[in-house]
Amino acid sequence: MYFYCSKCKKNYPINTRSYKCECGGLFKLFKDPSEILHNSVSLGEVETPLLKMKINKLNLFLKLEQFHATGSFKDRGAFMMINQLKNVGIREIVEDSSGNAGAAMAAYAAAAGIKASIYVPESTSPGKIKQIKAYGAAITKVDGARDKTAAAVLEAVTKAYYASHVYNPLFFEGTKSLAYEIYHQLHEQVPNYIFVPVGNGTMLLGLYYGFEEIGRLPKLIAVQSDHCKPLYQKIHNLPEHQITPTIAQGIAVGQPQRMDEILLAIKNSQGDVITVEDESILYAQDILARQGMYVEMTSAVAVAGALQFFENGKPDNYQVIVPLTGRGMQ
């Protein structure tokens, strides 16, 4: 197993202190199919439930990712990354996150005996910061937007390993498991649509890589906040607009580092990018709660997107999946 550059194809070991190639290309992961992945560090991983629910008049399958140990799907990537890093002798990591990835990395690092430092935006919710600290990780708050946090951690990286959920392809190797679970739970069927809230694209790319291996792609619909929509602007050839505050903090990413990969995944799946207003997000969160599902704003983004996309209904035989990315206490 090793990293290789997506541009020049140069190889790098898993324990490299480089977060991308010297040519500027981002890393991809090479793994022999027969290679055994390490899994000694565990927080009791489970196959999360797939629940059929009618919201308004729309029948959906909700993938309950809030059932993970730290409360979000980011545990999938953290489990994979921390296990492989422990195996190659990494003892200290740094990570930047708007909250959920930081919590997942901090938790699994704690379980592995790895020291963790997490950089978060100043606007990160107190609950998420409290959760990260509870795992024993050091917290550094960075003033400004999410992108400034990523820049700050790069300046700070010295001896610690940069365990980035954006740059490090081991994280996507973990989120890929979501595709296989959905396929298994649908009795080896691929759904017609999956609606995914997208900031850095860690869930969408994991789904894409997983279903690509399975051999058939669902239509991947990326949902962004109308206040921060770089993918929407790019795919629809629109001029950039100023990013404004949104209640969907988890996907408020102005410059996704893997934008080209995300757009390729959407194109190859015959999907699309749509945007939703904050009011629609709040409505989706409320209607979910009134049916027993209290989720974070980012989870509600995808539900709002599905309701908007199918506002005039959908064929009865369509299988539509909406992953609920994290619990409401996040």
101-158 confidence digits (pLDDT tens):
999 999 999 999 999 999 998 888 898 899 999 999 999 999 876 678 877 888 777 7
> In the beta sheet, which residues pair with residue 222?
196, 273
Residues 6+ away with beta carbon under 8 Å from 279: none
Percent of the chain, pLDDT > 90? 85
Pairing mode of beta strands 219-225, 272-276:
parallel
Return d(Cα 323, Cα 178) in angstroms, integer.
9
Residues 6+ away with beta carbon under 8 Å from 52: 59, 60, 61, 62
The candidate with the shortest Cα–Cα distance to 101, out of 157, 172, 34, is 172
Distance of CA 30 to CAs 114, 124, 134, 269, 274, Å?
A: 25, 34, 35, 23, 32
The sheet with strand 11-12 has its strands ordered as 11-12, 2-5, 27-30
Locate 95 and state its tokens: 């990570």
pLDDT digits (tens, 9 = 90+) for 179-234: 999 999 999 999 999 999 999 999 999 999 999 999 999 999 999 999 999 999 99
The H or E element containing residue 183 is helix 177-185
**pTM over cut 0.85:** yes
134 in Cβ contact with 111 (< 8 Å): no
The 8 Å CB, 24+ separation contacts for 286-294 are 287/55, 287/56, 288/55, 288/324, 289/328, 291/53, 291/55, 293/53, 293/62, 293/64, 293/324, 294/327, 294/328, 294/329
Return d(Cα 259, Cα 21) in angstroms, integer.
17
CA atoms within 13 A on the CB side of 3: 27
Return d(Cα 100, Cα 102) in angstroms, integer.
5
Helix axes 74-87, 100-112, angle to 10 degrees: 30
As a whole number, mean pLDDT of residues 258-265 equals: 98
**Which regions of the chain carry the CATH code 3.40.50.1100?**
50-74+172-324
pLDDT of residue 54: 96
pLDDT of residue 228: 96
The candidate with the shortest Cα–Cα distance to 166, out of 233, 228, 92, 74, is 74
Is residue 330 predicted with pLDDT exceeding 90? no
Tell me how many helices (H) and strands (E) the chain has.
11, 13
Return d(Cα 229, Cα 252) in angstroms, integer.
8
Measured in degrees and rounded to the nearest 5, phi and psi for residue 146 equal -55, -40
Is residue 262 predicted with pLDDT exceeding 90? yes
Locate 163 and state its tokens: 């365990």
Q: What is the mean pLDDT of the chain?
A: 95
Q: Which CATH architecture has domain 50-74+172-324?
A: 3-Layer(aba) Sandwich (3.40)
